[in-house]
Structure 1
Amino acid sequence: MTLVLALVMLTLVLPWGAAPATRRLAALLPPREACAALTGAAVLLAGGTVAALIGLFHVPFLASLEQISLTRAASEWPAAVPVAAVAGAVLLLQAVLVVRRWCERRSVLARAWASTRDAVSDGDLLVVPDAEPQAFALPGWRKRGGRVVVTTGMLKTLGPAEREVLLGHERAHLTGRHHVWSVVAYLAAAVHPALRPLRPALDFHLERWADESAASSVGNRRLAATAIARAALAAASAEKTGGRRGPLLSVSTGPVPQRVEALLGPVPVRPQARRTRAAAAGLVTAVAVSALLGLGLAYGLHEYVEFASRALLAE
């Protein structure tokens, strides 16, 4: 039992190493693949953590199912009940945090939609009469489809060609359902503290994904870089004065200088160098193993308790 508990504890520690590895992997990939790697790792690592905790929490109950009293189980496995109690408390805390974060996101979305009451609609575009320069992709809400929200202040800041870049950027967020990716990472971070750095990394790569889509739509990477820089600078200035609107994914999200620098470079492609591909494959394997280990250990813990219970009953 001590060995099993040690392995489960190892599963709970592994995300501290797997999360930084995933961020390094994302830096080697094009934006879309980077988002898939970060989101997939967040889901797998959070799932492995929850599976390991559920396995620990169920040890006394599994023993009772095998007709072993709690007293005898505690005498044979002294750590079983205290560990199960701690695992149950952590699971409850995780559930509370996930629900709280979900409610926060819904509240942000509701406030964002409320801020567009005076907006002028033009297809998927909502123009809000506001001098503060703001632009963001507004996900669907209560049977209303997603919209691109732009203030009149932002439209005045940009020229016609730059506006096309901005609208292409925000539309890429909607068509790619980037808000879903961001929410998944946000909720996963409530399960394990080691996963928190994955969310800002994911938001950055989601912005890079939208930047590349906008650059492709206008066919001019330098124009896209100029438009993103100008829009982000204007939006950042508005946020300093309390003009922040809407969900977290907006034109000013993430390290803007890095985004602009990337747009001034060539179109990102998958790594071709053998050494880089080998490093990426190694990181993928490490993340997958650390995540799936939790699921495997949860099942193995169940089998161990069942086997040990039969051995006790046979005495």
Structure 2
Amino acid sequence: MTYVLVLIVLTLAIPWGGTVIARRLAGGLPPRWACPMLTGAAVLLAGGTISTLIGLFHVPFLASLEHLPLAQVLEVWPAVVPLAGAAGAVMLVQAVLLVRRLVQHRLLLKRAWLLADEGVGDGDVLVVPGSDVDAFALPGYRGRSGRVVVTSGMVRSLKEGEREVLLAHERAHLAGRHHLLSAVVDLAAVVHPALRSLRAALVFHLERWADEDAAATVGDRRAAAVAIARAALAGTSHGRVAGYPLLSATSGPVPQRVEALLLPEPVAPRGPARRAGVTALAGTVAGGAVAALALAYGLHEYVEYAARQLIGVPGGCSSLWGVVDTLVGSGG
């Protein structure tokens, strides 16, 4: 089963390379393109990891369904039970962490809405009293539409034109439903540690997306840069719980965001550069997905083939792994 082990290692290692390529490609794209690309890459790479674990976990169960004695399987592949057990344990941990993450997201949203209830409404804006200096986009919750929450401390810290930039930034988060992209990548990062780097990259590009929309709204990129910088310098950490920042103008690496606003508006690459970047990312992600599916399908077919040989039924799949005849013959 050398081929199987090589495929397992390859499938679980691909996300490390995939995330590097995804981040580099995102750096050359406009934020509006980079965010869905990073989200899609995270979902596909996480799906490939889960497929690999499922493929390992279900081998002993497939053997029992095909009336193949477990002792016979162990003669062919002694490590099958430890590997299946490890895969099951990893999936159990992943499930617990995913549920925990979902609960934390819901608690943060609930606490943020409790804070918002203290504010004074003005259209889609809620001004919350207090000395904290913060502003964030608050997604809809239990039938309530999304709002922009601004503390009175933030209102006092900015000039009128800067407040306009801030509100345009947060409204861009709500209009683009950026919280959904953020939540998807945050959950995918639980599945494989390599995907955590995509979470940080996505936060940056989501903020850049909102920055660009705010600059377009006010029609002055330099004024938008000054407003973002001033808001970040005045901002506090209010509204953040357990490492989950709400989408805020003060999130992400602010110096890089300000520097980007002082440059011309980014445009999508064209020609060979675009094709090369897209091909590299698509090849890596597709390779991981295909390897994971091939592993799950191959293990399934291997068990069925072995079972047919043991019970004397002709046919079945041909030498799937290249060594299947020898392996099955040793137990026949």
More moved, 154-163 vs 84-93: 154-163
* Contact kept? 2:162, 2:227, Cα under 8 Å: yes
| Residue 48 of structure 1: aligned partner | 48
Q: For each residue in 1:3-35, what CA deviation from the matched residue of structure 2 results, as whole angstroms up to 9, or x when unmatched?
A: 123202210111111111111111111101111
Determine the structure 2 residue equivalent to 1:193.
193
* Preserved contact between residue 137 and residue 148 of structure 1 (Cα < 8 Å): yes
Contact 2:239 2:246 in 1 (8 A): no
- Residue identity opposite 1:233 in structure 2: L
What is the CA deviation profile of residues 129-159 of structure 1, one whole-angstrom value per residue up to 9, with x for unaligned ones? 1222210001111221111100111112122
* Match status 1:307 vs 2:305: yes
Q: Would you say 1:283 and 2:281 are equivalent positions?
A: yes
Match of residue 228 from structure 1: 228
Q: Unaligned stretches of 5+ in structure 2?
A: 313-331
Task: Note the alpha carbon deviations across 1:87-113, whole angstroms, 9 max, x for none.
Answer: 101110111111111111111111111
User: Partners of 1:10 and 1:245 in 2: how far apart?
Assistant: 37
Q: Residues of 2 paired with 1:305 and 1:122: CA distance?
A: 65
Contact 1:57-1:85 within 8 A present in 2 as well: yes
Q: Which residue of 2 aligns with 1:77?
A: 77
Q: What amino acid maps onto 1:294 in structure 2? A: A
The answer for the alignment partner of 2:146 in structure 1 is: 146
Corresponding residue number in structure 2 for 1:125: 125
Which consecutive residues of structure 1, in runs of 5 or more, have no partner in the other structure? none
Q: Which amino acid aligns with 2:310?
A: L
RMSD: 1.6
Distance in 2 of aligned mates of 1:148 and 1:288: 39
Q: Give, in angstroms, the shift of residue 226 of structure 1.
A: 1.1
Aligned to 1:2: 2
CA contact (8 A) 2:170 2:210 kept: yes
Q: Kindly indicate whether the alpha-carbon contact (under 8 Å) linking 2:138 and 2:246 is maintained by their aligned counterparts in 1.
A: no
Distance in 1 of aligned mates of 2:306 and 2:39: 38
Quick one: distance in 1 between partners of 2:272 and 2:3? Answer: 39
Partner of 1:267: 265
Measured after TM superposition, the shift of residue 287 of structure 1 is 2.5
Structure-2 change in CA distance of 1:110 and 1:131 (3 Å):
same
SS at match of 1:104: helix
CA drift at 1:296: 3.1
Q: Deviations over 1:248-291 (max 9, x none)?
A: 32111111011011111111111136345423432332223223
User: Match for residue 39 of structure 2?
Assistant: 39
Q: 1:228, 1:100 → 2: CA distance?
A: 33
Taking every aligned residue pair, what percent have the same amino acid on both sides?
Answer: 62
TM-score by length of structure 2 reads 0.89
- Residue 298 of structure 1: CA displacement? 1.6
Match of 1:298 among 296, 299, 312: 296
Give secondary structure in 2 for the equivalent of 1:127: strand
Q: Distance in 1 between matches of 2:309 and 2:82?
A: 23
Deviation, 1:245, is: 4.5
Give the aligned partner of residue 18 of structure 1.
18
1: CA distance, partners of 2:273 / 2:39: 24
CA contact (8 A) 1:231 1:251 kept: yes
* Corresponding position of 1:58: 58
TM-superposition CA deviations, 1:151-186 (whole Å, max 9, x none): 111112122221111111001111111111111111
Q: CA deviation at 1:244?
A: 4.5
Shift of 1:117: 2.3
Q: Which amino acid aligns with 1:129?
A: P
Kept after mapping to 2: 8 A contact 1:134/1:245: no
Letter in 2 for 1:23: R
Residue 75 of structure 1 deviates from its aligned partner by 2.5
Q: 1:17 to 1:245 in 2, by over 3 A?
A: closer
Alignment of 1:201-216 (within 5 A): 201-216=201-216
Range that drifts further, 197-206 or 118-127: 118-127
Figure out how many residues of one structure are paired with residues of the other and give that number.
310
Instruction: Report the CA distance between 1:77 and its aligned residue.
Output: 2.3
Q: Which has the larger radius of gyration?
A: 2
Q: What is the rounded CA distance, in whole Å, between the counterparts of 2:290 and 2:246 in structure 1?
A: 31
CA drift at 1:232: 1.5
